[in-house]
Amino acid sequence: DIEMTQSPSSLSASVGDRVTITCRASQTIFSYLNWYQQRPGKAPRLLISVASNLEADIPSRFSGSGYGTDFTLSISSLQPEDSATYYCQQSYISSPLTFGGGTKVEI
């Protein structure tokens, strides 16, 4: 199984700050990396697919980068509604399809 490791597990930042979350795969996954946002009590929402493709209706302050084993999710100017837990997920091997442990972002 491919293990996904996120860091940090939580962070606190202020409105307007730039925030970066990292995700590392235990083996190369090329660009098979997706990012999700989960607000409290809600279902996850797809933010970024194929490592860097921003999904429709996702604000442009979100961006993704990386290839191989190391990936990052950045929020350029943190907003109050970005308070959530963020998960990376690999789809290079879809069985099992694995998620990172999550990064909780507090404003």
Name 24's bridge partners: 5, 70
Summarize as ranges the residues that interact with other proteins (CB under 8 A): 1, 31-32, 34, 36, 38, 42-46, 49-50, 55, 87, 89, 91, 94-102
- Cβ proximity to other proteins: between 14 and 56 the closer is 56
| Tokens standing for residue 70 | 């190391």
Name 99's bridge partners: 89
Tell me the closest approach of the beta carbon of residue 55 to other proteins, in angstroms.
7
Tell me the closest approach of the beta carbon of residue 77 to other proteins, in angstroms.
25
C-alpha distances in angstroms, 4 versus 33, 41, 47, 58, 79? 10, 23, 17, 23, 26
What secondary structure letter does DSSP report for 41?
A: T
Tell me the closest approach of the beta carbon of residue 16 to other proteins, in angstroms.
28
- Cβ proximity to other proteins: between 19 and 87 the closer is 87
